[in-house]
Structure 1
Amino acid sequence: MVFLLWFLLVNTLYSISIRINGEIIDSLPGQPSDVDFNQYSGYIVTHKFRGRALFYYFAEAQSEDKFSMPLTLWLGGGHDCSSAAIGMFYENGPFRPTEDGELVKNQFSWNLASNMLYVDTPIGVAFSYSNTSSDYKIWSDTMTARENLKFLRKWFIEFSEYRDLDFYIAGDSYGGHLAPQLAELILEYNRKPVHVRPIKLKGIALGNPLLEKMGLSNVEHLWHYGIISTELYHLQKRQCDSTRMVQEILSGEMSEDCSDINVMISEEIGDDMHKDNLLFQSCQTDQYSSSQRHCLGTETAKADPCLLTWVDDYLSRPEVQEALHANASTWDSIFHGRNMILNNLAIDILPTLSALLKRGIPLLIYSGDEDLRIPVSHTRELANVLATRLNLTTMEMNEPWYDGKQIGGWSQTFGNSGGGEKVANLTFATVRGGSHFVPNSSPSKALTLFKAFLKGSPPPNTHPDHYLVALPKY
């Protein structure tokens, strides 16, 4: 017995040493010198026979007691971009690249509030891959969810000290598909009696999410903002209405009528308009001075429309890929299953979200109001559809929420006040001035929303000096 315990202890210590020596990031190229948290990256093999492996980046919480803080899995992007790269360097990760290839601290990194795990998913985008070519032709959301659960289970074996932390899933854009589908599988996994250590899923946060196919239609939004003309708006309704246009997009074959409308819309929008953010212009490398670029992690500095370029440039460097323990040959890979992608886009996620809310999983949906891809009006409508289907009542009226002393946006929380079936709270929040990628355009506001979400509370509805304001004299 003593020998067995000694063997297990040595084996455990050996495994930990292998992980630390093999996957800890000593320092990223251009990283600031005063970094006080550990970073890890590498691969989790999800299917040994087919050679599938998912790349991850893990930033421990910036806290003296990181194990007192939750673990959050970030699933953003989708089938044509690196969810890990976008999350860690463009949105809510601890660093942002600059034009000169250096990294600056993101003062509003989400690892200030949680341990953060970013995963490139599905296989076939960025650093994640499969050695089986047929995988790139038959992939689907269902397969992605299963692979993500396999990844998570194996990651918890390797990082067992995080296994019992409160666990959250967050993401944006196509993460509106990936996060709820994984959450559903986690709850199924937890129900099996053989799994004596359930994954402690506590909530889901979705930013500007694609939840159902009509979210792909933004013509109403473009007209409302004055971006397209009234004449074109009415012509679109007569010649190729939104339902028809979305159906043709999903079929992969566009009629001449709808193609003509799309061309006219693109012409009226203009070439230098950034569809992720109404306030962005196209990338101009001489738009900011070098000193301004080093302030781009702050809320007061205007978000840089060139940042995606700097992220791609940074991750394309061999020394960066080596520091990340990444397979350099996969960085420019393209997901080839276009028809499968189009079929996945048509999936309605609302039934999945309804089931999760019924199972007691709180849901935050937030939406940047300057997003031209998935309109805030449509997302808000879907949140109200969810509330209606579940017979939820308004717990917190629609009202401003505050990021410090400034209005961050408006929010409304739904729930039930007892009696009948107990359903978790649903919160919908807009982000004033927010883009499709809110943590990029509005980092302070995004962190405020995230902290409230982790606390299980609505966004703050008063600013810090609320009770110090003098009452009017009569």
Structure 2
Amino acid sequence: MVFLWFLLLNTLCSISIRNGEMIDSLPGQPSDVNFIQYSGYIVTDKLHGRALFYYFAEAQSENRFSKPLTLWLGGGHECSIATMGMFYEHGPFRPTKDGKLVKNQFSWNLESNMLYVETPVGVEFSYSNTTTDYYNVWSDTLTAHQNMEFLRKWFIEYPEYRNLDFYIAGDSYGGHLAPQLAALILEYNRKPEHIRPIKLKGIVLGNPFLEKMSLSNVEHLWYHGIISTELYRLQKRVCNATRMVIEFLSGEMSEYCSDIDVMISEEIGVDMDQDHNENLLFQSCESSSISSSQQHHLATETAKADPCLRDWVYDYVSRPEVQKALHANTTGLPNHWNSIFHGNRKTIMHNLAIDILPTLSALLKSDIPVLIYSGDQDLRIPVTHTRELANVLARRLKLTTLEMNGPWYDGNQIGGWSQTFGKLGGCKKVGNLTFATVRGGAHFVPSSSPSQALTLFKAFLKRSPPPRTKSDH
């Protein structure tokens, strides 16, 4: 009887703590919301006072436990990883010009319980009480271990999700973060003292930064007619792509490469180079020309991107009442700020130079499926290079082409082209690696092409290649 009372007391305490992290309602949120949201902090290192901010949206389903759990690890960006994933890419809501929220009909929590985390500490809401954490130490290795500690403790806080199928997804620099965390999870699962392994079922990488040559986009710029043939040939002659990347990572650009870099920026143009180099097709935000009704249409009824969405996200997340509702910004930082990679230049350059292909190879050898998708209008990480890396992985692992390159469909429209590699096990085909392009997709595909992104995500969760027929077939 005493033991049962102890269990009941602990359960009640757990419930009270959980309710403290539940989001009652976000400012401007629609009234007809059929899922529960949580947010708050997980302390990953008590000694240094490190805490990572998270946002968790339960699946929009009658039985949320019938859906998997997906952890989102976005890349470095001008705004935080969690809030950009939540409001700019595939979260359940999108801010509008008037400061309200509308439902995102292409939200990934239609298919999965979605957990967003800001990592490493120092990225907007996540924080540390150790000053040097903001400047010196955030190597990929330390970030991966902090993410693993976050996940381990998050499962203690939310034990009912511990046995769900688990996926890791991310874009941009998430191409480093997601595979490195996945490798630690497999290591964790192999230890005999961990009797409840984390059920890692796959990783999803969008426009991922995988190795140093992903930094080179000159050929892609020339192909799209953005830089001249004369400059393209000059670059290949006096400072080829490999040399330019190596010099950039060393922090010592030669006069030749520095001049070429300046000339490329001048031909791209200041607006495209500074503001929209993530999307060749993106239009500048002219907020005065977009009415509230037009924006509501963009956010809820079409698969098109809103050119002003990032501005609305900045404005919304910077509001004190929004931060309060999110249980965020407990350190009282100024309302408006931009986040960047933290750490000294040497650490940052070391991180960028890491080759993630061996890590992905090890994951694929452990039968962890990988989906790599790439927007074909991304000027930051060219689709041509990402496709080549996918083929390199397939060759290294001697994977067979299970599905030849061909168009995949988002509804009745071609969403892009895809190819699936894997192994033949008797009469069974096991697709381990899928590479998919997204037609018209930008660097952040769920923002520019939300319907296509959801279609790819949904197919991957079902262990299926992207659909090869129209939806009415």
TM-score interval for Structure 1 and Structure 2 normalised by the shorter chain: over 0.9
Question: Any conservation in 2 of the 1:359–1:424 contact (CA below 8 Å)?
Answer: no
Looking at structure 1, the residues matched to 289 and 153 of structure 2 have their Cα atoms a distance apart, in angstroms, of 45
The CA deviation at 1:268 is 1.2
Q: Which residue of 2 aligns with 1:104?
A: 102
Paired residue for 1:310, among 296, 312, 323?
Answer: 312
Q: Which residue of 1 aligns with 2:152?
A: 153
Secondary structure at 1:262's aligned position in 2? helix
- The one-letter code of the counterpart of 1:457 is S
Looking at structure 2, the residues matched to 263 and 288 of structure 1 have their Cα atoms a distance apart, in angstroms, of 35
Looking at structure 2, the residues matched to 461 and 423 of structure 1 have their Cα atoms a distance apart, in angstroms, of 17
Q: Which residue of 1 aligns with 2:226?
A: 227
Looking at structure 2, the residues matched to 29 and 294 of structure 1 have their Cα atoms a distance apart, in angstroms, of 17
- The one-letter code of the counterpart of 2:94 is R
Looking at structure 1, the residues matched to 328 and 73 of structure 2 have their Cα atoms a distance apart, in angstroms, of 18
Paired residue for 2:406, among 383, 399, 409?
Answer: 399
The CA deviation at 1:281 is 2.6
The CA deviation at 1:92 is 0.4
Looking at structure 1, the residues matched to 311 and 186 of structure 2 have their Cα atoms a distance apart, in angstroms, of 38
Question: Any conservation in 2 of the 1:272–1:281 contact (CA below 8 Å)?
Answer: no
Question: Any conservation in 1 of the 2:69–2:165 contact (CA below 8 Å)?
Answer: yes
Looking at structure 2, the residues matched to 270 and 79 of structure 1 have their Cα atoms a distance apart, in angstroms, of 21
Looking at structure 2, the residues matched to 43 and 263 of structure 1 have their Cα atoms a distance apart, in angstroms, of 43
Q: Which residue of 1 aligns with 2:45?
A: 47
- The one-letter code of the counterpart of 2:280 is L
The CA deviation at 1:98 is 1.3
Looking at structure 1, the residues matched to 263 and 169 of structure 2 have their Cα atoms a distance apart, in angstroms, of 36
Looking at structure 1, the residues matched to 185 and 208 of structure 2 have their Cα atoms a distance apart, in angstroms, of 20
Listed one character per residue, the Cα deviations across residues 414-459 of structure 1 (whole Å, up to 9, x for unaligned) are 011138xx98610000000100000001111100000000000100
Question: Any conservation in 2 of the 1:29–1:319 contact (CA below 8 Å)?
Answer: yes
Question: Any conservation in 1 of the 2:249–2:349 contact (CA below 8 Å)?
Answer: yes
Q: Which residue of 2 aligns with 1:134?
A: 132
Looking at structure 2, the residues matched to 208 and 66 of structure 1 have their Cα atoms a distance apart, in angstroms, of 29
The CA deviation at 1:81 is 4.0
Looking at structure 2, the residues matched to 463 and 170 of structure 1 have their Cα atoms a distance apart, in angstroms, of 26
Listed one character per residue, the Cα deviations across residues 182-216 of structure 1 (whole Å, up to 9, x for unaligned) are 00000000001111110000000100000000000
Which is further off, 254-263 or 384-393? 254-263
Secondary structure at 1:234's aligned position in 2? helix
Question: Any conservation in 2 of the 1:45–1:52 contact (CA below 8 Å)?
Answer: yes
Seen in structure 2, the aligned counterparts of structure 1 residues 301 and 168 have a Cα distance that, compared at 3 Å, is closer
The CA deviation at 1:286 is 2.3
Is structure 2 residue 355 aligned with structure 1 residue 348? Answer: yes
Looking at structure 2, the residues matched to 214 and 146 of structure 1 have their Cα atoms a distance apart, in angstroms, of 26
Seen in structure 2, the aligned counterparts of structure 1 residues 410 and 272 have a Cα distance that, compared at 3 Å, is same
The CA deviation at 1:173 is 0.3
Aligned residues: 462
Seen in structure 2, the aligned counterparts of structure 1 residues 255 and 286 have a Cα distance that, compared at 3 Å, is farther
Looking at structure 2, the residues matched to 11 and 247 of structure 1 have their Cα atoms a distance apart, in angstroms, of 56
Unpaired segments ≥5 residues, structure 1:
467-474
Secondary structure at 2:245's aligned position in 1? helix
Q: Which residue of 2 aligns with 1:470?
A: none
Listed one character per residue, the Cα deviations across residues 209-228 of structure 1 (whole Å, up to 9, x for unaligned) are 00000000000000001111
Looking at structure 2, the residues matched to 124 and 32 of structure 1 have their Cα atoms a distance apart, in angstroms, of 31
Looking at structure 2, the residues matched to 204 and 19 of structure 1 have their Cα atoms a distance apart, in angstroms, of 28
Secondary structure at 1:142's aligned position in 2? helix
Secondary structure at 1:53's aligned position in 2? strand
Q: Which residue of 1 aligns with 2:205?
A: 206
The CA deviation at 1:310 is 1.3
Is structure 2 residue 439 aligned with structure 1 residue 432? Answer: yes
Unpaired segments ≥5 residues, structure 2:
none
The CA deviation at 1:336 is 4.0
The CA deviation at 1:30 is 0.9
Identity %: 78
Secondary structure at 1:57's aligned position in 2? strand
Looking at structure 2, the residues matched to 51 and 296 of structure 1 have their Cα atoms a distance apart, in angstroms, of 42
Is structure 2 residue 84 aligned with structure 1 residue 86? Answer: yes
Which is further off, 338-347 or 79-88? 79-88
Looking at structure 2, the residues matched to 446 and 282 of structure 1 have their Cα atoms a distance apart, in angstroms, of 22
Seen in structure 2, the aligned counterparts of structure 1 residues 138 and 342 have a Cα distance that, compared at 3 Å, is same
The CA deviation at 1:253 is 2.9
Q: Which residue of 1 aligns with 2:267?
A: 268
Secondary structure at 2:214's aligned position in 1? helix
> What is the TM-score of this pair, normalised by structure 2?
0.95
Looking at structure 2, the residues matched to 32 and 181 of structure 1 have their Cα atoms a distance apart, in angstroms, of 37
Secondary structure at 2:116's aligned position in 1? strand
Q: Which residue of 1 aligns with 2:258?
A: 259
Q: Which residue of 2 aligns with 1:247?
A: 246
Question: Any conservation in 1 of the 2:87–2:95 contact (CA below 8 Å)?
Answer: yes
Seen in structure 2, the aligned counterparts of structure 1 residues 51 and 423 have a Cα distance that, compared at 3 Å, is farther
Seen in structure 2, the aligned counterparts of structure 1 residues 257 and 281 have a Cα distance that, compared at 3 Å, is farther
Q: Which residue of 2 aligns with 1:278?
A: 280
Looking at structure 2, the residues matched to 345 and 307 of structure 1 have their Cα atoms a distance apart, in angstroms, of 29
The CA deviation at 1:33 is 1.0
Secondary structure at 2:299's aligned position in 1? coil
Q: Which residue of 2 aligns with 1:95?
A: 93
Q: Which residue of 1 aligns with 2:74?
A: 76
Q: Which residue of 2 aligns with 1:471?
A: none
- The one-letter code of the counterpart of 1:29 is P
Is structure 2 residue 411 aligned with structure 1 residue 412? Answer: no
Is structure 2 residue 462 aligned with structure 1 residue 464? Answer: no
Question: Any conservation in 1 of the 2:57–2:109 contact (CA below 8 Å)?
Answer: yes
- The one-letter code of the counterpart of 2:389 is L
Question: Any conservation in 1 of the 2:375–2:439 contact (CA below 8 Å)?
Answer: yes
Paired residue for 1:360, among 346, 359, 367?
Answer: 367
Paired residue for 2:294, among 292, 295, 304?
Answer: 292
Question: Any conservation in 2 of the 1:54–1:121 contact (CA below 8 Å)?
Answer: yes
Looking at structure 1, the residues matched to 207 and 439 of structure 2 have their Cα atoms a distance apart, in angstroms, of 13
- The one-letter code of the counterpart of 1:190 is N
Listed one character per residue, the Cα deviations across residues 247-271 of structure 1 (whole Å, up to 9, x for unaligned) are 1221223222222212211111112
Secondary structure at 2:170's aligned position in 1? strand
